[in-house]
Structure 1
């Protein structure tokens, strides 16, 4: 009984008090033997228990392959892989298999800034315009006052402008277009997740260091940590004989979330606009090497490239999060720190992040005070990494209540709720559809339109076939992929669908005219023009499909039935060029 009492005593913060209070407290403990019998932290699970849990979970979530790393008491406990690197091929995932980790990269972005601060090359409170004089946002006051610590704490208000990624030529081009959009919320008013400011982080690091972000991260972080195969470049990763292939759902225009099970998967090309968005996402690493990153953040790495005070600052709350997202490793109110989210998970303080890219999901969760970390990644878009990290936190460090929860069921309910909202919105959209054709002949819509944000939009009338675009990353308007780049030749399953899940790739796919005139919207893309057939919805409203993301296109007519502009989802209003 004394052993249990001592364990319980260690759970409680020390409070000064008299002898009488101590006697009363002991009497209460003795009166509740069931509580006294609990132990904390629990004994760690055997590797065999973890293996069995993961293999069952991969079947439940229909995941081809997974990487897993666990640090316990500051040392590597497990770094391994499960399943296959690519469906239909025998090669297995192991501890050295490379995966893209999406927004789990953001912590690396913050760390490169911390390295520059430690080297005296900038300060957290420097203005951005001190180092990037041409930088502008929509609001002049925000442009003047934004500081370096603001851009890694999700409080600037820019939102995330992923639709720009396929249109811009480089990171500077991306950032130059931000003044054309109004903020999603006021500067420093509240938490608002943004990829844009981590794009700015990459440009800032490159400007100050004089080298590209990948090279700087390698020299300043990865090499000292022993992370020799970690990279932010798809080329070296794809050239490695040990890398996972991303997988996506075959039906391109299904309604629902990318984590949905019960739909066929296929390997798809790696897609990421690395020279634009790194380090918002795009870091590629393995279980073996992420272990060293976690050891840095729990304070036990033998060769830390950053000071303990810099690491602690990156974990320190900066921006309040009232309602955490499912990828965050805590429950109830928490905060965003610098490249990390943080809050209470049961009786511990957890620090972590989630990430996704086309065909990859990642989760990392740390309990630095306990020397614990867990990282999980899959080669399909799935909630499983977030389920696994919560299960591991609970299993290694949680109380009885946390260990008894069905994390699978909780996340499955969240996916189902999200899908239901999508379906409800689609049903409402269909109910509002008017049974009316275009108000003017199709050739009347033909022309060139322009805005400062997206550039030039050309609308043409053609009977030529339009090759389908690869899927954009995820669903519900996420655009981390760059459709049309790095395509697999003759990928039949990449054809579009009619919205019901049945494939209907474009006629004349061999290059023959179809004989049917259709409107096509065209942007200048990163490597070649991006063409999207316009499917009539009603009156002057059409739908374009960018991979698997629907874009509403509404033509604007004046009183004389002249087409004067276009309103386009994600891209705003375009004025017709005379």
Structure 2
């Protein structure tokens, strides 16, 4: 019936619908900027940097002939023995190749399947396991460490006041690398953790960043406490197997059982025995794999394997939680990576107006790095078997090309960068991997 009352209500109905659409549009606009995640008691605002579905890729073509020329110069340095490099652009593997030897003067070549140590890149695996268990309701990231019956003690009973998230972001208040020297001397990590209550704090717990290895490995005890399973097995079953990381293992035995594995070298090309100490803190430094599998790990961290590591878990891990003030001598690369912060097992940086996520590692004659741009789903991974730190600077030469920036000699090698015509954007084949293949 079309009475007067009905006629008067229609404008209000239209206005209500329009207002609802405006509010919805505003909400979506805000969603593109940030989102607040309730992390089981810890409110964290996360910038959503990932490109929306169907968004145009804005990365510049990477000239792999030029990158290979730079790597060739790097490998001429007397400190370099073996190296493996991989890249992903826009979610696709573009480059996978090995260089040099698995052991000096052996003639055994490094391939994309040669296994190296990850060193501190292992911390990202521990974070993913713990955050995944938290999302499954097995634990709370806001829970105090005292709840899990671990061997860790802190001054003043601080284990009752610092959380799992504090542990994974190095906010325990301990001096930097507390008692690493004693771990390297052969002392048991559980006994060292039990004695940390006697170490003077460098700041009030949960208030500042101070990098740890022995204390960080408390994460492995937490995982075993809530799962009833060995840490290495949990990491294997939750991450390595579903991601297809067939070469990935935790521990020295896994490294040395690999068909091709890189021996460690120090002081140039002097081979040394594989060190055991940091394998005894597996959450801090226990992972091994080939460069192929490190690419698979980076692929998952850029959101391409939500079946294994969900978008929520990535946001929780990658958000910057605490600034990381510099210590010691800083090179040009460290100065260029600005606003350095730490999340849960990951470092974050600003570089040339872009947000990057990554980590570096160095242990007992090995080096490792991973650095990626989540918005462009592009990044680089490297593994090498010497203590030559200059190799890490290659990562910025990759990103300078990706961002279309002028060439900078980040490696600072004796020979200047070669002038090579830029390659086109089409796929290329390098090493033993075909460009365009996914990282899975």
| Pairwise TM-score range, normalised by the shorter structure | 0.7 to 0.9
CA contact (8 A) 1:315 1:351 kept: yes
Change (3 A) 1:210 1:385: farther
Q: What is the match of residue 290 of structure 1?
A: 294
Answering whether residue 391 of structure 2 is matched by residue 385 of structure 1, we say: yes
Q: What is the match of residue 52 of structure 1?
A: 69
Distance 2:227 2:315 in 1: 23
Change (3 A) 1:405 1:289: same
Change (3 A) 1:198 1:344: same
Q: What is the match of residue 92 of structure 2?
A: 75
Spell out, residue by residue over 1:347-378, the C-alpha distance to the aligned partner (whole angstroms, 9 max, x if none).
21011111001110111101011011211121
Answering whether residue 199 of structure 2 is matched by residue 181 of structure 1, we say: yes
What are the equivalent positions in structure 2 for 1:119-138 lying under 5 Å apart?
Answer: 119-132=136-149, 135-138=152-155
CA contact (8 A) 2:78 2:269 kept: no
What are the equivalent positions in structure 2 for 1:229-268 lying under 5 Å apart?
Answer: 229-249=247-267, 264-268=268-272
Distance 2:197 2:185 in 1: 16
Match of 1:99 among 116, 134, 139: 116
Q: What is the match of residue 527 of structure 1?
A: none
Q: What is the match of residue 273 of structure 1?
A: 277
Larger relative contact order (CA 8 Å, sep ≥ 6): 2
CA contact (8 A) 2:88 2:380 kept: yes
In the TM superposition, what is the alpha-carbon distance from 1:205 to its structure 2 partner? 1.2
Answering whether residue 156 of structure 2 is matched by residue 139 of structure 1, we say: yes
SS in 2 for 1:216: helix
Change (3 A) 1:55 1:167: closer
What are the equivalent positions in structure 2 for 1:393-472 lying under 5 Å apart?
Answer: 393-397=399-403, 399-400=404-405, 403-409=406-412
Q: What is the match of residue 470 of structure 1?
A: none
Q: What is the match of residue 474 of structure 1?
A: none
CA contact (8 A) 1:323 1:332 kept: no
Q: What is the match of residue 313 of structure 1?
A: 316
CA contact (8 A) 1:152 1:197 kept: no
CA contact (8 A) 1:323 1:333 kept: no
Distance 1:186 1:290 in 2: 36
Q: What is the match of residue 364 of structure 1?
A: 370
Q: What is the match of residue 422 of structure 1?
A: none
Q: What is the match of residue 41 of structure 1?
A: 59
CA contact (8 A) 1:329 1:343 kept: no
CA contact (8 A) 1:376 1:388 kept: no
CA contact (8 A) 2:349 2:355 kept: yes
Spell out, residue by residue over 1:473-502, the C-alpha distance to the aligned partner (whole angstroms, 9 max, x if none).
xxxxxxxxxxxxxxxxxxxxxxxxxxxxxx
SS in 1 for 2:369: strand
Distance 1:139 1:395 in 2: 50
Q: What is the match of residue 425 of structure 1?
A: none
Spell out, residue by residue over 1:154-179, the C-alpha distance to the aligned partner (whole angstroms, 9 max, x if none).
22122322122145664422311211
In the TM superposition, what is the alpha-carbon distance from 1:197 to its structure 2 partner? 3.0
SS in 2 for 1:177: helix
CA contact (8 A) 2:301 2:309 kept: no
Spell out, residue by residue over 1:97-120, the C-alpha distance to the aligned partner (whole angstroms, 9 max, x if none).
000121111111111111211221
Distance 2:120 2:279 in 1: 15
Matched residue pairs, number? Answer: 356
Distance 1:240 1:194 in 2: 29
5+ residue gaps in structure 1? 1-13, 16-38, 250-263, 412-578
Distance 2:352 2:275 in 1: 37
Match of 1:354 among 360, 363, 377: 360
Change (3 A) 1:284 1:133: closer
Distance 1:172 1:323 in 2: 29
Change (3 A) 1:125 1:328: farther
SS in 2 for 1:244: coil
CA contact (8 A) 2:74 2:413 kept: no
CA contact (8 A) 2:85 2:291 kept: yes
CA contact (8 A) 1:232 1:283 kept: yes
Spell out, residue by residue over 1:504-552, the C-alpha distance to the aligned partner (whole angstroms, 9 max, x if none).
xxxxxxxxxxxxxxxxxxxxxxxxxxxxxxxxxxxxxxxxxxxxxxxxx
CA RMSD, Structure 1 to Structure 2 (Å): 2.6
What are the equivalent positions in structure 2 for 1:512-531 lying under 5 Å apart?
Answer: none
In the TM superposition, what is the alpha-carbon distance from 1:40 to its structure 2 partner? 6.3
5+ residue gaps in structure 2? 1-31, 34-56, 415-440
SS in 2 for 1:76: strand
CA contact (8 A) 1:222 1:228 kept: yes
In the TM superposition, what is the alpha-carbon distance from 1:304 to its structure 2 partner? 3.4
SS in 1 for 2:233: helix
Larger radius of gyration: 1
CA contact (8 A) 1:329 1:350 kept: no
Change (3 A) 1:396 1:100: same
Change (3 A) 1:58 1:275: closer
Spell out, residue by residue over 1:315-374, the C-alpha distance to the aligned partner (whole angstroms, 9 max, x if none).
101001244866869623221111111121102101111100111011110101101121
